[in-house]
Structure 1
Amino acid sequence: MCRTLLIVFASLLLSACGNGGTEKDKAAETVALVPVEAVAAAARPIDASYSGTATLEADREADVVAKTGGVLLRLLVEEGDAVRQGQVLARLDDASPRLSLAKAEATLRKLEADYRRADEMFGRKLLSLEEHDKIKFDLDNQRAVHDLSRLELSYTNVIAPIDGVIGKRMVKEGNLIQVNQPLFHIVDFDPLLGVLNVPERELNILKPGQPVSMSVDALPGQRFPGVIERVSPVVEAASGTFRVTCRFNATLQTLKPGMFGRIDVVYDRKQDALAIPRGALIEEDGETAVYLIVDAPPSAEVKPKDGKAVDAPAPAAAPAAVPAAAALHAQRRVVHIGFSDSEYVEVRDGLKAGDRVITVGRNAVRDGTLVQVLDTAAASASSVPVAEKTP
């Protein structure tokens, strides 16, 4: 019963207020505004850069293969060990090569003695030139056999062909090793290379020696400096790109081959460019534009280009109701941009310092839409809960 009486009383009160309004009150009509956030264009340093992605790869890496056969008797290194060029990595069974070398040495000593006697006899005219030359030929041939046997024996010590780190071990002790069988994979971590496939329009911009920086997914928050090592002079017809090879020093082996990196090449810098956030740009109809915040006339209506008065567009979010005379509206402005980085773009034409452009809510407005600029700093402060005082 009480609830019904309250409803009736409220209806009568609203009716009385409506009938008692004046023409002056109706003139203070309120309109719905679209809430937006805006940032003023201001001078700031900005870099001209090219960004791309690449997978790091080692400049030098090698598979260590067996040059002779035999049973693997001993492994001297393991995965992750740093090795130097010429270091012994493993040893194979050398019994058979040693016997072959001993046999070659014995035959060599015999032929050397035969040649000394033949040389004396040839000096006394007791041996023909033909027989002397034949003995000398046999001696030279045996020397080659001896050297080959010594070389085969040396192959039982598997050595590192380059400096680096053992990335993979592919055999175990006791395995029977065949000739040319892979045993280890060695990777030289310093330097590491990242290859960018760059569109041909950048061909005259990127040069060897330019500094670069890289971030990798595996090490967030860190950036690694590098330099452009070389630039391919050939543009691939199929993709319309050319190869740019960047070099990075793997300090303390932080970077690893196979890591995925994002590389930024900064090729120019302006200290006082007029810049706005990238989020303010709108690409439509082949033009780059922004929405400015400008003063609105004291009216609840907006006139589009055809001259007919229409109501202001309804907001996408819950609008605020304010007097129309205090409102602002959005104005579309075509701009010409220059340098850009990950956050800001340079505006070369279309804006001046201090112009406010819409960054949040730009998709909900059109040219002439009435807007309300939110104070993001105040909104953030008001969202922090106040601690209750304990009595």
Structure 2
Amino acid sequence: MAYKKKYAVMALLGVCAASGAAWWFQNKPAPTTETSKASVAGPATGAPGASGGGPAKAPAVEVAKVETMTLVDETQAVGSLRSRQGVMMRPEVGGRVKQIFFNDGQRVRKGQVMVQFEDQLQLAQLSQAKAELSIAEANHKRNQELVMQNFISKRSLDESGAALEVARAKLALADATLQRLKVLAPFDGITGLKQINVGDYLKDGADMVNVEDIDAVLLDFRLPERFQAKIRAGQKAQLSLDALPGRSFTAIVQAVDPLIEANGRSVGVRGCIDNRQQQLRPGMFARVNAVFGSRENALVIPEEAIVPQGGRAFVVKVVAGEKPGALISERVVVKVGLRQPGKVEILEGLAAGDTVVTAGHQRLQKDGTPVRVVDLSQPGGARPAGAQAGAPGPAPAASAPSGSAPAGSASAAGQQWSGATGATGATGKPNPQTASKTMAMSGPNPCLRGTDAAR
């Protein structure tokens, strides 16, 4: 019995010792020696591998400067080209084609006779009407003399006068019927492909040939209703065509449809393009870049510098700290404007030359946090010596220089007409093709005058 009690006591002491050891390991106090502090602080010092105490490294961030450039307020759409004036020629009366006075693709003038129908019957009717008019005039003149001599009553004079008016009306009707057998060009233009031949019998309203005025072509496109307050007559739109790759054309907005389409909630816009070089054709598909306006010296920053939060936009600005050469962060509320690929316009909150953080925002939780600017364009990702003495160095150059119009602007598109060598070739000799185009471009712009104005 004593032997069992002895082993029970030893087992109880062993359990207590194991429990005490486990508690001590779980609640072991942190080392408080200077050596331990140095070993813990060593990785955060300024120089790698330093064992002495020192401040921790400031968070590394990437920055960019607030730049100024010309921003163009624009949007993209698709449209199609159509003739400034176009009509399908159709006869008003039926008849047999006697003569055709035009060829396919020929330029015609307003009032020019294009098709003549058989008119023998109408010429005979005209001659008959002229003879009847001659008899009516003679009878009426004779009755006037007899009335003056009181040989006939005044009623006979009135009847002869009425007969004279009827004869004149018959002559006018015969002449009008004869004239309707001539099909005239309604305006200056170019004929299409004729669909008739001499000898064909045509009914009234049959298609003969289309006439198109393409000295200026119209551009029809639609914009979402949110742009209806921005688009107005006189603005310019740049367009490119799949049929003419590498070319750019300028259209002048002539009118905006006052009615917004209920199905698509879009507004129709019509522009005009100078086409005296005859390079554009009605029916072409066009990609339109509608330009609403431009702003000079607009403040822009990279779009990654914007931090949206709670319906507002923030940026983190880098400013000089209290110590010389120190840089700290400052959170600023900004108002954004136009957006372009990679760029955002700033309307309020920043000034030209300010420096904003583009990467590393998550390390800056509050204002006044010391920052360390890194430049990935430099070898090793560090700035040159002396770069942190003041404001951060300049950001990479903007994609478009200040004051210059962006690609696809009106000035750039207008230069497409001139070509590289102008009216002379590379050898200095006159280029006949370019010279003819230059002559075609002379004169007033057809988009700046009425469609029915005389040339």
TM bracket, shorter-chain basis: 0.5 to 0.7
Equivalent position of 2:150 in the other structure: 125
Equivalent position of 1:54 in the other structure: 79
Is 1:169 the counterpart of 2:194? The answer is yes
Equivalent position of 1:338 in the other structure: 337
Q: Decide whether the 8 Å contact of 1:40 with 1:357 is kept in 2.
A: no
Shift in alpha-carbon separation, 1:79–1:201, aligned structure 2, 3 A: same
Mapped partners of 1:154, 1:45: distance in 2 = 61
Deviations 1:252-281 (A, max 9, x none): 121211111122222232334454688x79
| Aligned partner (choices 131, 148, 152) of residue 106 of structure 1 | 131
Counterpart of 1:99, as a letter, is: A
Mapped partners of 2:309, 2:97: distance in 1 = 71
Question: What secondary structure is seen at the aligned counterpart in 1 of 2:133?
Answer: helix
In the TM superposition, residue 66 of structure 1 has moved relative to its aligned partner by: 1.2
Q: Decide whether the 8 Å contact of 2:74 with 2:289 is kept in 1.
A: yes
Mapped partners of 1:41, 1:251: distance in 2 = 45
| Aligned partner (choices 69, 72, 75) of residue 100 of structure 2 | 75
Counterpart of 1:264, as a letter, is: N
Q: Decide whether the 8 Å contact of 1:48 with 1:341 is kept in 2.
A: no
Equivalent position of 2:296 in the other structure: 271
Shift in alpha-carbon separation, 1:199–1:128, aligned structure 2, 3 A: same
Question: If the length of structure 1 is used for normalisation, what is the TM-score?
Answer: 0.63
| Aligned partner (choices 172, 175, 180) of residue 205 of structure 2 | 180
In the TM superposition, residue 342 of structure 1 has moved relative to its aligned partner by: 6.7
Unmatched segments (≥5 aa) in structure 1: 1-26, 29-37, 293-333, 359-366, 376-391
Q: Decide whether the 8 Å contact of 1:118 with 1:132 is kept in 2.
A: yes
Question: What secondary structure is seen at the aligned counterpart in 2 of 1:214?
Answer: strand
Q: Decide whether the 8 Å contact of 2:99 with 2:198 is kept in 1.
A: yes
| Aligned partner (choices 135, 153, 162) of residue 137 of structure 1 | 162
Equivalent position of 1:66 in the other structure: 91
Which structure has more relative contact order (CA 8 Å, sep 6+)? It is: 1
Counterpart of 1:127, as a letter, is: I
Equivalent position of 1:231 in the other structure: 256
Is 1:115 the counterpart of 2:114? The answer is no
Q: Decide whether the 8 Å contact of 1:100 with 1:149 is kept in 2.
A: yes
> How do residues 1-391 of structure 1 correspond to structure 2 at under 5 angstroms?
42-275=67-300, 337-341=336-340, 345-346=344-345
Mapped partners of 1:335, 1:252: distance in 2 = 49
Mapped partners of 1:276, 1:270: distance in 2 = 15
Question: What secondary structure is seen at the aligned counterpart in 2 of 1:122?
Answer: helix
Q: Decide whether the 8 Å contact of 2:239 with 2:249 is kept in 1.
A: yes
Counterpart of 1:346, as a letter, is: E
Mapped partners of 2:305, 2:194: distance in 1 = 54
Unmatched segments (≥5 aa) in structure 2: 1-42, 49-62, 317-332, 364-374, 378-455
In the TM superposition, residue 247 of structure 1 has moved relative to its aligned partner by: 1.8
Mapped partners of 1:201, 1:217: distance in 2 = 28
Shift in alpha-carbon separation, 1:105–1:222, aligned structure 2, 3 A: same
In the TM superposition, residue 336 of structure 1 has moved relative to its aligned partner by: 6.8
In the TM superposition, residue 190 of structure 1 has moved relative to its aligned partner by: 3.4
How many percent identity over aligned positions?
Answer: 26
Equivalent position of 1:320 in the other structure: none
- Bigger fraction of residues in strand: 1
CA RMSD in angstroms, aligned pairs only: 4.0
In the TM superposition, residue 182 of structure 1 has moved relative to its aligned partner by: 2.7
Mapped partners of 1:283, 1:148: distance in 2 = 82
In the TM superposition, residue 335 of structure 1 has moved relative to its aligned partner by: 9.0
Shift in alpha-carbon separation, 1:271–1:185, aligned structure 2, 3 A: same
Mapped partners of 2:79, 2:307: distance in 1 = 28
